[in-house]
Amino acid sequence: MRYEIPAPMLAKAAASVPDPAKTTGGLLFEPKWDGFRGLIAWDGETVEIGSRGAKPLTRYFPELVEAIPELLPGPCLLDGEIVVATGREGAQRLDWEALSQRIHPAASRVAKLAAETPAMFIAFDLLAEGDDDLLQSPFRERRDRLEALMAKVEHPLHITRTTTDRDAAVRWLAEFEGAGLDGVVAKPLDQPYAPGKRTLIKVKHARSADVVALGYRIHKSGSGVGSLLVGLYDADGRLHQVGGVAAWSDKRRQELVDELAPLVERDEDGAAVTGESERSRFSGSKDVSFVRLRPERVLEVRYDQLEGDRFRHTVQFERWRPDRDARSCTYDQLDTVAGYDLADVIG
């Protein structure tokens, strides 16, 4: 048999952990793993790993490709998350930076990183087993079969833990962040698998911070502000770029050009001074230049979590803070979370 890898089922955001009593058939809660979404197809002969964006991931994780035929009891199509953990025993956590390094064009580099920072696969759904197509089966049935399939499977393949207890899910939301996870997911037990549809519910960590506007990129259309670059001061008074704010309306992009004009740094000839932000492996040939602003204007943003000294995802604009002095926008205001061993999450 040969499995066709579908588009993954997606989730919509919620502000709080939902009440299972208000959902027909109830909900099953899972930790929200912070990694690469992966759909693994093992047909008894070959292994394929698909991603959320339909990009093949097979070549980037040779250690998983090797382990899957040895550990799985039979052909199947699994949905889950590819993650990398780092840290000493008893204090491990998910490492997004180490995981993102795995997407590399050189086979020699991929092999080296597979040995140095091996990945794990956390399974949370079973879409097919043998000749049985399970897409139309309710999630409670798919979960039961997943548990039976994975009962004796060992590292680096794991099955995510679950609970039907909302109080436990709320506790996970707080505790598991210390292991690098970024929330919880609620899944209706009576629903079939819905490729590409947002029928699941995700609750992520959300916080706010006051940051300094330090520059902006021109919108890809060539007109208006595309994204606003923001920064924070460290304990030594140095300003660091920590992320960006985007998702402005067309009208607002044009307004921002005029509003920010008094802050634009200019050379002796009156021309706007530009800079270039740090490139990442995801930048490619993308233009990373930006118009520099004098670091004087403060804004409040919503963010979910930090990755090192930067915001993990694009942050959301909340409001301007004319009452705040830019120098008061330091890392000290950001929430820190208690450590939590990843091994205790995996169980």
- Summarised one tens digit per residue, pLDDT across range 222-246 is 889 999 999 999 999 999 999 999 8
- Determine the pLDDT at residue 307: 78
The structure tokens 């409001």 sit at 319
Whether residues 68 and 47 fall in one domain = yes
- Both tokens of residue 261? 């004009």
Distance CA 198, CA 8 (A): 10
Mean pLDDT of the chain: 90
- Domain assignment present for residue 270? The answer is yes
Residue 276 is predicted with a pLDDT of: 72
Separation CA 268–CA 281 (nearest Å) = 35
Is it the case that residue 273 has pLDDT exceeding 80?
no
Q: Is the pLDDT of residue 111 over 50?
A: yes
Question: 120 - beta bridge partners?
Answer: 83
3-class DSSP state of 199: strand
The confidence score (pLDDT) of residue 214 equals 95
Domain hosting residue 283, numbered range: 207-333
Query: Residue 326 has what pLDDT?
Result: 92
- What's the whole-number mean pLDDT along residues 113-119? 97
pLDDT-wise least confident of 42-51, 68-77, 336-345: 336-345
- Are 260 and 188 within one domain? no
Identity at 231, one-letter amino acid code: G
Same domain, 190 and 80: yes
pTM equals: 0.76
22 in catalytic set:
no
> CA torsion 72→7→124→40, rounded to 10°?
20
pLDDT tens across 54-97, in order?
678 999 999 999 999 999 999 999 999 999 999 988 889 999 88
Question: Would 269 be classed as within a structural domain?
Answer: yes
Residues 6+ apart with CB under 8 A from 277: 215, 229, 241, 288, 289, 290
Region 129-158 average pLDDT: 97
pLDDT band of residue 208 (cuts 50, 70, 90) is: confident
Which one of the listed residues 32, 112, 152, 187 is annotated catalytic? 32
CATH code: domain of residue 161: 3.30.470.30
Of 166, 188, 204, the one marking the end of a domain is 204
Last-in-domain residue among 157, 175, 204: 204
139, 145, 147, 151: CA torsion to nearest 10: -170
345 assigned to some structural domain: no
